[in-house]
Amino acid sequence: MAWFYAAEWPTFAPPLTGLHAKLYLSSAGMVITSANASNRGIGFVEPAALIECGTFHRPDTTAFRKGTEWFDTIWGKADMVDPEALATARAAWAKRPRHGALKGAPLTAPPDTLLRRIAADPEGYRGIGVVFSSGEAGRKDVEQAAEAAIAVEGKRRKPKLKKEEISRLPTWPKGNLFIGWSDADANAWPGLFLCAHRGARGAYSYWCYSRFFEVKLDRDEWSIFAERSPELRSRIRLTGSPRQSASAEGELLEKIFTHLDAVAGPDEIGYRLCESPMHLGQLLADVDAGRSTDANPVE
């Protein structure tokens, strides 16, 4: 085997809620499977506890070629793993129970709020991300994103969206469009996510969404179309109106957005994608510790 790569492949099939496929790529071929490269998924320390399934593709197949192209794309966008990231990974690994599942993210406060509960239970909230957003898209943003999305779908031999879904884009609710996100954010965007939103007057609210479609508008600039998700609302037991559900955590949200504002670039307001409970846990640890850094080392 001359080389070996492994990565999650969320775009191998049309978007599916909770899709969690892995791609293992080598000079001998490619395996696409549900199994993690972990003790529980494969069995490094003890027999694997789960039954997994997957497919194998030889180097001369179209699937192998597409997989290689996809990996090269995300590899080119990857960040160097630094000592802080390695230290975080070691700490998380040391906290694992015997079967290998994480006990929780590196929190410094008890899980007495929704955000802290999500971060403290990565397995229980697996597949759920949290987006911290400020402001709101306008109708022109919707029109621009819809135009770009329709153009992209029109060029595809097999469009991701049905005709009736494409026809909805120009009239998409502006509050359900997330604009100005990076390549890295768009590639990592979870299928289900809680949006912690800060309005123009500083009021906080919680919204439950599922990802619908994403489109690239410019270099490192994406728009994400999202839909309200009753499924997620039920899963995280969110009650009351969006403002009511967030009001109990107003103090924590104020600290989070103050931190995000501090690490934002010039002329930017605070925002952040936490694509998993572990990433949320790292953000909360930074906030609790008063660390002003935009690094998010959990991968």
Residues 187 and 251 in one domain: yes
pLDDT digits (tens, 9 = 90+) for 251-286: 999 999 999 999 887 777 889 999 999 999 999 999
Residues 132 and 234 in one domain: yes
Q: 33 — phi, psi (to 5°)?
A: -150, 170
CB contact at 8 A, 27 and 5: no
Indicate whether 92 pLDDT > 80.
no
Residues 134 and 35 in one domain: no
Indicate whether 125 pLDDT > 80.
yes
Encoded amino acid at 263, one letter: V
Residues 178 and 251 in one domain: yes
Indicate whether 223 pLDDT > 80.
yes
Residues 134 and 239 in one domain: yes
Which of the pair, 27 or 40, is modelled with greater confidence? Answer: 27
Provide the pLDDT for residue 34: 79
pLDDT tier for residue 101 given thresholds of 50, 70 and 90 = very low
Indicate whether 291 pLDDT > 80.
no
Which of the pair, 197 or 83, is modelled with greater confidence? Answer: 197
Token reading at 56: 């194998």
The proportion of the chain whose per-residue pLDDT surpasses 70, expressed as a percent, equals 79
Residues 131 and 259 in one domain: yes
pLDDT tier for residue 7 given thresholds of 50, 70 and 90 = low
Indicate whether 296 pLDDT > 50.
no
Residues 70 and 202 in one domain: no
pLDDT digits (tens, 9 = 90+) for 38-50: 666 666 555 566 6
Q: Compute, in degrees rounded to 10, the torsion defined by CA atoms 227, 228, 229, 233.
A: 150
Provide the pLDDT for residue 237: 93
C-alpha distances in Å from residue 241, one per residue of 29, 97, 245: 51, 37, 6
In sequence order, what DSSP letters do the residues of 285-297 get, joined into one string?
HHHHHT-------
Q: Which domain holds residue 15?
A: 4-77
Which of the pair, 18 or 163, is modelled with greater confidence? Answer: 163
Residues 52 and 186 in one domain: no
pLDDT tier for residue 80 given thresholds of 50, 70 and 90 = confident
Indicate whether 100 pLDDT > 50.
no
Indicate whether 110 pLDDT > 60.
yes
Residue 282 lies in a domain: no
Residue 205 lies in a domain: yes
Run of H or E residues at 223: strand 221-228
Q: Is 124 helix (H, G, I), strand (E, B) or coil?
A: coil
Looking at 39-53, 224-238, 244-258, which range is the least confident one?
Answer: 39-53
Residues 131 and 73 in one domain: no
Residue 91 lies in a domain: no
Residues 36 and 133 in one domain: no
Residue 176 lies in a domain: yes
CB contact at 8 A, 170 and 146: yes
Residue 248 lies in a domain: yes
Provide the pLDDT for residue 148: 97
Mean pLDDT of the chain: 83
Indicate whether 241 pLDDT > 50.
yes
Residue 226 lies in a domain: yes
Residues 66 and 132 in one domain: no
Structural domain count, the chain:
2
* pTM of this structure: 0.64
Residues 236 and 132 in one domain: yes
Indicate whether 195 pLDDT > 60.
yes
Residue 108 lies in a domain: no
Strands 192-198 and 128-134: parallel
Looking at 86-100, 120-134, 219-233, which range is the least confident one?
Answer: 86-100
pLDDT tier for residue 6 given thresholds of 50, 70 and 90 = low
Indicate whether 167 pLDDT > 70.
yes
Q: What is the pLDDT averaged over residues 59-66?
A: 91
Residue 32 lies in a domain: yes
Encoded amino acid at 283, one letter: L
Indicate whether 160 pLDDT > 60.
yes
